[in-house]
Amino acid sequence: MKKRLWLSLALAYPLMLTGAHAADAKQPWLDAAQSPDARADQLVKAMTLDEKIQTVFAYFSTEFSPKKHEQPKEGRPDSAGWVPGIPRLGLPSQWQSDAGVGVATQAVSKKPYERTSLPSGLATTATWNPKLAFAGGAMIGSEARSTGFNVLLAGGVNLMREPRNGRNFEYGGEDPLLAGVMVGEQIRGIQSNHIISTVKHYAFNDQETNRNHIDVKIEDQAGRMSDLLALQFAIERGQPGSVMCAYNRINGDYACENNYLLNEVLKQDWKYPGYVMSDWGATHSTIPAALRGLDQQSGFPFDKSDYFNQALKEAVVNRHVPEARLDDMVKRITRTMFANGVVEHPVATPTSTDAGIDFTAHGKVSQADAEEAIVLLKNHNDLLPLAAGVRSIAIIGGHADVGVLSGGGSAQVYPKGGSAVPNEGPAYFPGPIVYHRSSPMGELAKLTKAKLAYNDGKDVAAAAKLAASSDVVIVFGNQWMAESFDSDDLNLPGKQDELIAAVAKANPKTVVVLQTGGPVVMPWLNNVGAVLEAWYTGSNGGAAIARVLSGEVNPSGRLPATFPASLAQLPRPKLDGDAKTKDETVIEKFTTDYNIEGAAIGYKWFDLKGHKPLFPFGYGLSYSSFALEDLSAKPAGTGIEVTFSIKNTGKRDGKAVGQVYVSSLAGGWEAPKRLGGWDKLELKAGASGKASVKIDPRLLGVYDSASKTWKIAAGEYLVTLADSAGAKPAASVKVKLDATTVDVNGR
Ligand code: BGC
């Protein structure tokens, strides 16, 4: 049975606080006036070998019966991890919780934390608004703190090489700059609460199928210009305290014992000062992992052995692992705790289950994010926003009468009062399927005079009948995605495509609202009136969807990933690794070749191959219209400075995203163009605004593995201003650059 020990924790904690504040000559590391590095050096010197080992080894903080694991008494209940503190030295515990959309609960819990959920990470990226990413991060970080966590396992930034990836909803889409900036801002927001955030999963964990073993083949140059670049941008922006190494192998070695990734790229080249923690079950050894750069083993007993416990101690005693390396691990962990304020601002044990959180205010933060995330993909004859004269609306499918869908797995945040649709999907991880209690139908009822009628969509003929007798139809298409599996194809699951086709046939004034983890195909697209991609909208998602439908909110989301027209357009029409294989000896042989597309992910691949997607990266409509104007660009330092303006030429106030793409006219790039920057402006009807964008030199050059530099070739570069990666540019200018070399970090 799980024991809840709020009370004993509450009693024990003040002792630790006393230690934390007692900076005196004997405990100089508690003097916050010193640098985090100096403090950590002093602390490490004061630690015994056992205390060092204790700091690099984390326990799963949830009962786990298959491994006969009990929840550690001092861990937070039903959470991802706990590392014991050292009260005699004033070092608090590390209490770790998932994840990127809010405070999650491990799926085995019967009494989950009920917390605010942001929209999915992909949705937040679709806002193209870094301020919202920061605000959302700050909000969930504050809930983590209130709940007693000082490490939030957020910051998912794996690039969307694979639109079927079950975890795309946790990540930031397909472009290294967009994903890096948006996820980096979220991390910055989280850490503004004096807690630590991770960035994850390092690296190339871009599919779930056989994620624990699949060996990703990728060359250095292609990796540095794609997935690693996204991570690099996110780390520079967000300065996450920790990097979580991934499950998969890269060029033969597991990510958590991969010298190239951990020691060479992360620690030497990027000079990353924080610590590397393993994903849960991603540690495979003691000596290789320690020597190749892992700093903390996570979530024991997920791994086969407690590699960083007594085995590591023995390896240090026997000098297979130098004690200096153990000291480096501990220093990285503790300097980060000092740097992030975890020691000076200790988290407390919550005294109530809701931890004093202002859920109304936090729901509004989530809603603001969702409202800008929704992408209007089609709007024939201005079917949206719903006209004032509409008298009857049929709402069909997707449980839209009670709630909004969310993504599953370790990142699952539970709503107050539990899921709006109980007992759906797998009973255990990565299920159950959770619906946030914000009903699109209920919220729409507050905004329209039309009569609303609901049909659950299970009986296609009955749904079509209701559609035929209504002025307008709003049909929901749901795709539940979760950690641990990928989708088989890009179609909506079950009979939903058939349902949508049938209601559209009965009534062409059909609006489709998609709640999906990522891209889907739309075989019914030509026959429906309007399409909104809502993603997973979070705690207040119903209100966000209703406000976009009614026109209270003018949609301004833009696709953070290409929507392919078919699987045949992808670099790997068939996913590598057989999801059904259970035999570990076979699984270990699976590889996947990311050199096929190399750094040409998403729109870059589509440009290269001349494929026409269903909807291009960057695409999204508005209830208003905008003109992109006054483009100018000039060399500035090692980059390019671009200015432009946007005019709202329509009749409604709204927001528009000016996207700056850049091409090398001499060629030599992985693809014809790259996103160089963007700006999102809020403009009243008729108003114009100015924007400026600085293109990072790494987006103008090509990474050279031999010299570890980025080389920008002399010549002409075409800078274009466009609505999307697929649109004809509104304007373009040429910029002449001299040959330039910048270092691995773009400086
Ligand atoms: C996931 C991580 C997560 C961890 C802890 C793993 O299964 O891959 O993203 O942080 O579990 O729950």
- 74 to each of 8, 58, 299, 351, 582, how far by Cα in Å? 8, 12, 15, 15, 36
Distance 212 CA to ligand 1 centre (A): 12
Mean per-residue pLDDT, 59-85: 95
What is the per-residue pLDDT for 153? 98
Say whether both 253 and 374 belong to one domain: no
Predicted confidence (pLDDT) per residue in 182-206, tens digit:
999 999 999 999 999 999 999 999 9
The 472-478 sheet, strands edge to edge: 375-379, 530-533, 510-515, 472-478, 392-396, 451-455
pLDDT classification of 108: cutoffs 50, 70, 90: low
Q: What is the rounded distance in angstroms from the CA atom of residue 401 to the CA atom of residue 659?
A: 37
- Count of beta carbons in the 10 Å neighbourhood of residue 589: 12
What is the per-residue pLDDT for 585? 87
Q: Which atom of ligand 1 is nearest to the CA of 198?
A: 10
- Three-state secondary-structure class, residue 58: strand
Residue 642 C-alpha from the chain's centroid: 28
What is the per-residue pLDDT for 5? 33
Predicted confidence (pLDDT) per residue in 272-304, tens digit:
999 999 999 999 999 999 999 999 999 999 999
CATH code where residue 198 lies: 3.20.20.300
∠ CA 442-446-447 to the nearest 5 degrees? 120
Predicted confidence (pLDDT) per residue in 513-533, tens digit:
999 999 999 999 999 999 999
Tell me how many helices (H) and strands (E) the chain has: 19, 30
Say whether both 640 and 722 belong to one domain: yes
What kind and span of H or E run contains 661?
A: strand 654-664
Residue 250 domain flag: yes
Residue of 167, 297, 410, 412 to mutate, ligand 1, most atoms within 8 A of C-beta:
410
CATH code where residue 706 lies: 2.60.40.10
Predicted confidence (pLDDT) per residue in 229-253, tens digit:
999 999 999 999 999 999 999 999 9
Residue of 279, 297, 484 to mutate, ligand 1, most atoms within 8 A of C-beta:
279
* Residues across the chain: 747
280 Cβ closer than 6 Å to some ligand 1 atom: yes
Residue 612 domain flag: no
User: At how many degrees (to 10) do helices 130-146 and 176-191 cross?
Assistant: 40
Residue 228 domain flag: yes
Q: Which atom of ligand 1 is nearest to the CA of 247?
A: 8
279 Cβ closer than 6 Å to some ligand 1 atom: yes
Say whether both 64 and 145 belong to one domain: yes
Q: Would the pLDDT of 21 be above 90?
A: no
Say whether both 94 and 230 belong to one domain: yes
CB of 211 within 8 A of CB of 248?
A: yes
End-to-end CA distance of the chain: 55
Q: Would the pLDDT of 18 be above 70?
A: no
CATH code where residue 447 lies: 3.40.50.1700
What is the per-residue pLDDT for 610? 98
Domain boundary among 527, 560, 593: 560
80 Cβ closer than 6 Å to some ligand 1 atom: yes
Say whether both 377 and 322 belong to one domain: no
Distance 279 CA to ligand 1 centre (A): 6
Q: Would the pLDDT of 11 be above 70?
A: no
Per the structure, the complete domain to which residue 538 belongs is given by 359-560
- Count of beta carbons in the 10 Å neighbourhood of residue 61: 26
Q: Is the sign of the CA dihedral 183, 188, 191, 196 positive or negative?
A: positive
Residue 523 domain flag: yes
Which residue, chain included where needed, has tokens 């791994």?
Answer: 303
The count of domains in the chain is 3
- Three-state secondary-structure class, residue 639: strand
Say whether both 137 and 262 belong to one domain: yes
Domain boundary among 504, 534, 560: 560
What is the per-residue pLDDT for 23? 62
Domain boundary among 307, 340, 373: 340
What is the per-residue pLDDT for 584? 85
Q: 278: Cβ–Cβ under 8 A, 6 or more apart, which residues?
A: 244, 245, 256, 289, 294, 296, 297, 298, 299, 303
Residue 467 domain flag: yes
Say whether both 201 and 61 belong to one domain: yes
Say whether both 320 and 376 belong to one domain: no
Q: What is the rounded distance in angstroms from the CA atom of residue 130 to the CA atom of residue 59?
A: 34
What is the per-residue pLDDT for 343? 98
Q: Which two tokens stand for residue 309?
A: 């416990």
User: 4-8, 652-656, 662-666: which range is least confident on average?
Assistant: 4-8
Mean per-residue pLDDT, 659-687: 97
Residue of 280, 283, 303, 483 to mutate, ligand 1, most atoms within 8 A of C-beta:
280
Residue with the smallest CA separation from ligand 1 atom 11 is: 280
- 144 to each of 16, 108, 117, 255, 413, how far by Cα in Å? 19, 19, 12, 27, 12
Q: Would the pLDDT of 673 be above 90?
A: yes
Q: What is the pTM of this model?
A: 0.96
Phi first, then psi, for residue 693 (nearest 5°) are -135, 140
Residue 354 domain flag: no
Distance 374 CA to ligand 1 centre (A): 27
pLDDT classification of 15: cutoffs 50, 70, 90: very low
Distance 488 CA to ligand 1 centre (A): 22
Q: Would the pLDDT of 255 be above 80?
A: yes
Which residue, chain included where needed, has tokens 């209690």?
Answer: 437
What is the per-residue pLDDT for 105? 95
Residue 394 domain flag: yes
Say whether both 288 and 366 belong to one domain: no
Predicted confidence (pLDDT) per residue in 137-182, tens digit:
999 999 999 999 999 999 999 999 999 999 999 999 999 999 999 9
Residue with the smallest CA separation from ligand 1 atom 8 is: 279
Q: Which atom of ligand 1 is nearest to the CA of 153?
A: 10
User: At how many degrees (to 10) do helices 496-506 and 460-468 cross?
Assistant: 30
Say whether both 399 and 435 belong to one domain: yes
